[in-house]
Amino acid sequence: MHPVLTIAKFELLRSAGQMRRDLVPVAAGLFVLLLLVTGFAAQSGMHLSDGLYTIGVDDPALASVLAKDPRFVVYRADGPLLERERGTLDLVVIGGQARAASTPRGQAAEKALRQVYDAYVASVYSSEPDLFAAYPLWIDTEEVRSEVDFSATASGQQVGLRPGTAPPTPEGTVEPLAEPPPGIGVTADELRRELVRDAASDDRLSRYTDVLRNGGGGEFRTPAQLSPPLPFDSIVLIFVFVFPLYFTSQFFMMAVMNERIDRRGEALLASPVHPALVLLGKGLPYLAGMLLVSTVLLLVLGAPLVILAVLLPVILFFLAAALLIGMTARSFKELSFVSIFFSTVATSYLFFPSVFANVHVIALVSPMTLVVYALQGTPITLSDYLYSTVLFYLVAGVLFYAGVRNFTEERLFSQSRPLTRIREFIGSALSDRHPYVSLFLLSALLIPFVFMAQMMALTLFFNLPMPWSILLLLVSAAFVEELAKSLGLYALFARSGRFRSWRVLVPAGGAVALGFLAGEKVLLFATLAQITESIFGAVLFTSLQALWMPFLLHLGGVLIVGACVLAGGRRGYAPGLVVATIVHVLYNLAVLRGAIG
């Protein structure tokens, strides 16, 4: 048997042997319990926002309509009495006129009332025998593909010209377009079913804001259904996919950690097999398990299996991160906190952009957007796939490489402080004989992380009003780059006194700057064309236009930090970073002004 498979088998047997005998029956029992509770919860509904608002109504029929919504505590009383008690209620309805208290809660109650009333009106009208008297207006939405590069508007610019008095005349040839037929070609009954279905899917979760509203199902919509198409159901499914993956990666994290307890890993370290194969073998059962869980989920949900290809880089990323977390955590507590932190950050990175799946290209930063597309039936192109997954593949690869390089006795059983450990982990990628070559490679390898962090900043900041989003993005992008560049140099200085000299600084800085530039160029060329064309891209990647200018910038940044460390020791590092970031921001601002003005 191949050594990888042997180790995988060993891993499986051992983790099964560690379990208490009652684990499987208890897990099965809990699963049954989970099904029962889910059924109960579906029956009784989620009582999270019950009784938030108080409302007084004078009409008993209307009161019974409103009482169906548990958010309202409804009081029925006569008009004069309600008028007197208005101050104590969020909302009063007298003679068919609603009046809300002018508090935030009153305003929210009014909004909730509008939702409830709209739903009630829709339920009355959708049961009318003559549907087209109740719903006389239907809208058919046709999407037209823009001929102009769409990343321009997607980055926040407005469409074309300021409207004039005369209708605009197109420049291109006008292809004759057939008038759409007046009829809708669908029976009233089909539309009615669609309306009822849409009303039912407008469930308790989606009512929190209009934001989380489903765009309506069918091809034809009533005006009320004409809201932005937010793929809400699909977004919920993201959690269905990501949560089990995160959960299974926890087991791998624990398995790695277990090797370090009581020096149990000695046996694996002593084996003649290369560490990379050992770690592959240890990870294999978990990788297989995660793929299996995903496949089962996809089959149960009836979703296209293409999604598996999208989930694969995410799985690899989770596993690689789990490997490193398991290798660095000093105690169970630390493992828990670090993994909770990691999962929160990773989940936001995956989840947040996909909210904008139908609205903005930024969504493609996250592979989960592709999952949403696949569920919606939107075709996924190869460039989409590369664009949103390549960072995950690369980061997973680099993390795994770091794990392999550090799979040694010295690293595994050390108990030094987390920051020292990170430094050691980076340091072991540097070679004593060829420090400059390894600095070059390290800087190039750090590029995927830099891009990921910058993408994270982009998803965070692109929502803010315009000057702020650009400014914050500028500062954070510069800081991330300076941090990444200085890491290798700092690790080299900390490694031995031999390197801590002014003579080393300039060639080392040159190697870092070159590696950084090369990595940036290669990765950008391969993938990020869409983002780089937008104004946000200009902010993130200004240093890429010419070659020698950014090289000098990168070199300058590294030299500043390096000089500060040489002059002030460890205390000089943070101030050095700040100064380098300021210089970087100023440079970017200068380039941007030149580019814009």
Partner 1 sequence: MNRRHVALIAKKELRGLSQERTILLAILLQVFIAVFSSFLMVGLASLYDPSAISRTVTVEYAIGYAGNESPLLDRLEAAQGLAVYRMNLSVAVQALRERRLSAVIHVPDTSPGGTEPVKLTLYTLQNDITASVLNVRLKGVFEAYEAELRELRADRLENRPLPLRVPAPRGGEFFEFVYGLLVPLLVLMPAIIASALIIDLVTEEYQQRTLETLLATPVTFTEALWGKIAACLLLVPLQAGAWLVLLALNGIRVAAPVGIVLHATAASAVLVLLGALVSLHYRERTSAQFVFSTGLVVVMLLALAVPANPLNLIARLSVGSAGPDHWVVLLLVTGATVLLAWLTTRYARSVARAFLEG
8 A C-beta contact, residue 439 and residue 554: no
Residue list 116-135, contact with partner 1 (CB under 8 A):
117, 120-121, 124-125, 127-130, 132-135
> Could you say which of 84, 341, 376, 437 contacts partner 1 (CB under 8 A)?
341
Total interface residues for partner 1 by CB under 8 A: 157
Considering only the stretches 193-201, 320-328, 344-352, 538-546, report the one whose residues sit in contact with partner 1 under the rule CB under 8 A: 344-352
Minimum Å gap between C-beta 85 and partner 1 is 15
Q: Which of 235, 232, 197 is nearest to 218 (CA)?
A: 197
Nearest residue (CB) to partner 1, 331 versus 545: 331
Residue 217 binds to partner 1 (criterion: CB under 8 A) = no
Alpha helices in 355-465 (DSSP H): 367-376, 382-405, 409-412, 418-427, 435-461
Considering only the stretches 26-34, 76-84, 366-374, 511-519, report the one whose residues sit in contact with partner 1 under the rule CB under 8 A: 26-34
Q: Measured in Å, how far apart are the chain's first and last C-alpha atoms?
A: 66
Residue list 439-458, contact with partner 1 (CB under 8 A):
none
Encoded amino acid at 540, one letter: L
Ramachandran assignment for 569, one of left (phi > 0), alpha (psi -120 to 50 degrees), beta (any other): left
Nearest residue (CB) to partner 1, 130 versus 189: 130
Residue list 35-54, contact with partner 1 (CB under 8 A):
37-38, 40-41, 43-54
Q: How far apart are CA 499 and CA 533, in angstroms?
A: 41
Nearest residue (CB) to partner 1, 353 versus 435: 353
Residue 1 binds to partner 1 (criterion: CB under 8 A) = no
Minimum Å gap between C-beta 443 and partner 1 is 26
Burial class (CB in 10 A: 0-12, 13-18, 19+), 56: buried
Residue list 371-400, contact with partner 1 (CB under 8 A):
none
Nearest residue (CB) to partner 1, 83 versus 334: 334
Residue 296 binds to partner 1 (criterion: CB under 8 A) = no
Nearest residue (CB) to partner 1, 212 versus 404: 212
Residue 526 binds to partner 1 (criterion: CB under 8 A) = no
Residue 21 binds to partner 1 (criterion: CB under 8 A) = no
Considering only the stretches 6-14, 279-287, 326-334, 369-377, report the one whose residues sit in contact with partner 1 under the rule CB under 8 A: 326-334
Residue 267 binds to partner 1 (criterion: CB under 8 A) = no
Residue list 224-243, contact with partner 1 (CB under 8 A):
224, 226-230
Residue list 138-157, contact with partner 1 (CB under 8 A):
138-148, 150, 153-154, 156
The CA-atom distances, in angstroms, between 110 and each of 22, 83, 103, 354, 526 are 53, 17, 11, 30, 51
Minimum Å gap between C-beta 273 and partner 1 is 25
Nearest residue (CB) to partner 1, 110 versus 482: 110
Q: For residue 162, give the DSSP letter.
A: P
Secondary structure of residue 214 in the 3-state scheme = strand
Considering only the stretches 5-13, 169-177, 425-433, 527-535, report the one whose residues sit in contact with partner 1 under the rule CB under 8 A: 169-177
8 A C-beta contact, residue 333 and residue 341: no
Residue 324 binds to partner 1 (criterion: CB under 8 A) = no
Binding mask 47-86 for partner 1 (x = CB under 8 A): xxxxxxxx----x-xx--x----xx-x-------------
Residue 414 binds to partner 1 (criterion: CB under 8 A) = no
Nearest residue (CB) to partner 1, 208 versus 502: 208
Minimum Å gap between C-beta 159 and partner 1 is 5
Encoded amino acid at 451, one letter: F
Residue 110 binds to partner 1 (criterion: CB under 8 A) = yes
Burial class (CB in 10 A: 0-12, 13-18, 19+), 53: buried
Minimum Å gap between C-beta 411 and partner 1 is 18
Whose structure tokens read 């007084």? 56
8 A C-beta contact, residue 310 and residue 367: yes
Q: How far apart are CA 183 and CA 162, in angstroms?
A: 35
Residue 522 binds to partner 1 (criterion: CB under 8 A) = no
Letter string b/e over residues 244-271, b meaning 16 or more CB atoms within 10 A of that residue's CB: bbbebbbebbbbbbebbeeeebeebeee
The CA-atom distances, in angstroms, between 562 and each of 487, 577, 585 are 10, 9, 18
Nearest residue (CB) to partner 1, 125 versus 401: 125
Considering only the stretches 270-278, 343-351, 543-551, 566-574, report the one whose residues sit in contact with partner 1 under the rule CB under 8 A: 343-351
Nearest residue (CB) to partner 1, 18 versus 545: 18
Q: How far apart are CA 296 and CA 291, in angstroms?
A: 9
8 A C-beta contact, residue 370 and residue 361: no
Residue 356 binds to partner 1 (criterion: CB under 8 A) = yes
Q: How far apart are CA 439 and CA 444, in angstroms?
A: 9
Q: How far apart are CA 285 and CA 274, in angstroms?
A: 18
Residue 96 binds to partner 1 (criterion: CB under 8 A) = yes
